[in-house]
Copies of this chain bind each other. A is one copy, B any other.
Amino acid sequence: MESSIEVVCCQLAPVVGQFEANIELVRDGIAAAVRDGAQLVVLPELATSGYVFRSEEEARAAAVSVNGPELTGWAAEAARGSALVVGGFCELGEDGRLYNSCALVDGEGVRAVYRKIHLWDEESTWFVPGSECAPVVETDLGRIGLAVCYDIEFPELTRGLALNGAELLAMPTNWPRGWAWDSDVPILTTLARSTAYLNRVYVALCDRGGSERGLDFEGGSVITSPDGRVLAGPPSLPGVAGAVLRATCDLTTARTKGTGTRNDAFADRRPELYPADLVSPPRSSASPSQPAPAP
């Protein structure tokens, strides 16, 4: 296992309804990053489809299957440099339903797919939420945790990925442009730094840029280190469409959680004292098949 890897976020601006162009845009982005030495390439959420759908038909027309030629194309580019690619796509499931998914792809093909479990706004009109928690994928480069956009607002998920061994969280994102203040760092950067720091992991968050049907995106991609520093990004705000962020990340530093001579971010946890309703009732309870009620 290599100790340091070259991580690149390809912030792109796909265009809803222009499927072929988006496929090409993404593939060109991966190709350029790999050519320039990227070992892990992170793409935005829904990179192949765009975001602001108007109809079910439009979403379906932009959907691809895990085994289709589009992700195979990512693998072909990854193979040129023994790279990994993590990117978001509109997935047509084998069940005929649509998912807001992200895939981890290497030179041989799709290694893992995660279907976003926290859907934002109109996404729930087009997509079915995933039914499995975000995975940590063991790769030749290290352990990569997957999460998508709004997932970053659920510390149960990001903490869980870290507890499950993730050394880097790869987070395809489509962040609608937020409020900005003269004196404040964007909240997306703040969340990425905080997530990295609290869990002592790298965060490679690849946002999209541009606008779609009146919705402006933040273009707020950022790469942060396990001590909460910003290593790259965000591109000059607001709304830069395309940008390439690059950082060298030594994932071995994310394998230990020591934070001082006597402290450790994980060993210092007091799980026996935390509220039980952070997670579901145990599966062994009376109604194991029922999801926990929302608080």
A131-146 vs B, CB cutoff 8 Å, 1 = contact: the mask equals 1110000000000000
Chain B contacts for A129, CB-based, 8 A: 270
Chain B contacts for A156, CB-based, 8 A: 155, 159, 269, 271, 274-275, 278
A295 near B267: Cβ-Cβ < 8 Å: yes
B198 near A193: Cβ-Cβ < 8 Å: no
In-complex Cβ contact of A278 among B118, B120, B179, B279 (8 A): B279
Chain B contacts for A185, CB-based, 8 A: 184-185, 190
Whether A269 touches B294, Cβ cut-off 8 Å, given contacts A156-B159, A159-B155, A263-B121, is yes
Q: In whole Å, how far is A201's beta carbon from the nearest beta carbon of chain B?
A: 13
User: Closest 3 CB pairs between A and B?
Assistant: A194-B194, A155-B155, A160-B275
Is A282 interfacial (CB 8 A cutoff)? yes
Chain B contacts for A131, CB-based, 8 A: 273
Q: In whole Å, how far is A198's beta carbon from the nearest beta carbon of chain B?
A: 6
In-complex Cβ contact of A159 among B230, B272, B278 (8 A): B278
In-complex Cβ contact of A163 among B154, B184, B261, B277 (8 A): B277
Is A276 interfacial (CB 8 A cutoff)? yes
Having A154-B198, A163-B278, A268-B294, one finds 5 other A-B pairs with CB under 8 Å, namely: A129-B270, A179-B227, A183-B230, A269-B294, A278-B278
Is A291 interfacial (CB 8 A cutoff)? yes
Chain A 193-221 residues near chain B, CB threshold 8 A: 193-195, 197-198
A295 near B266: Cβ-Cβ < 8 Å: yes
